Amino acid sequence: MTPVARSRLIILIAAAGGLLFFLHLLGVTTNAEAWMLKKIAGQEAKLAEAGRSLRATMSAPFRINAVLQENDALRSENAALSVEVARLTTVQEENAELEKLLGYTKKLKKTPVIARVLARTPEAGTHTILLDRGTDDGIAPDMPVVASDGVLIGKIFKAERTTSIALLLTDTRSRVGASVQNSARTQGVIQGKRGLSLEMRLIPQNEEITTGDMIITSGIEPMTPRGLLIGRITAVETQEKSPFKTATITTPIALDRLDVVAIPFP
């Protein structure tokens, strides 16, 4: 562009600017200016919305990550609380059992050994529990094992230095001399019935027994004292031409839920 042409262009732009300014002062361009401002404002709003959307899109992964971290923290906290509730419930249940055992032990001349149940083996016909006390604590085979207020639940079957195995009354190998608390003090033998229940056998046919009668240990075994509660009669079965009848016995203890037991010394 030549100098003359450039000068003419500058003069033309200046004149146009002066004319627009003059028209602005007169108010001629007010509508046009309002229209231009509206268009520009619309574009600015769109640009602002696009900016916000872009920022939201860019920050979304960070927000999601924060939410996931918060959820993980809440899950961990919930798991910890659940563990604590389970622990406190277990402690409460054990304390309740211990209180009942302590009430029983106060009646004994010798302080019994309190043992915790470490494991149980509820196999078909075989019911045993593993205890955390053994020969170092004075435990020996054939010692009675009681729960709650002095309910017989089994006998020591095998003893090691620090542990022992108790044979529960429901075990098919279990045998305990028993007596009915009636006027005749009817005698019999308690044994496990297929690991499910208890039976009192060798009851003379001429002895009168009824459902609800209480069954206790007879004391004929040297390690087991007389008077330990075993359970109550829930059914009586009589067989013709047999000199003996059989009674079904129900124990008041849930043998599959034992946590703490006592082993009294003879």
Residue ranges of domains in the chain: 1-107, 113-263
- pLDDT for res 33: 54
Question: Phi-psi category of 193—alpha, beta or left, where left has phi over 0 and alpha has psi -120 to 50?
Answer: beta
- With a pLDDT cut of 90, the percent of the chain lying above it is 41
pLDDT band at residue 240, thresholds of 50, 70 and 90? confident
Contacts of 184 by beta carbon, 8 Å cutoff, 6+ apart: 207, 208
Q: What is the residue type of 214? A: M
Q: What is the pLDDT of residues 27-37, one digit of tens each?
A: 555 555 555 55
Q: What is the pLDDT of residues 170-187, one digit of tens each?
A: 998 899 999 999 988 999
Cβ neighbours of 139 (radius 10 Å): 24
Say if residues 253 and 97 touch (Cβ distance below 8 Å). Answer: no
Q: What is the residue type of 119? A: A
- Compute the distance between CA of residue 126 and CA of residue 221 in angstroms, rounded to an integer: 22
Mean pLDDT (whole number) for 65-78: 68
Structure-block tokens of residue 212: 């609800």
- pLDDT for res 258: 87
What fold, for 113-263? Thrombin, subunit H (2.40.10)
Would the pLDDT of 64 be above 90? no
Contacts of 35 by beta carbon, 8 Å cutoff, 6+ apart: none
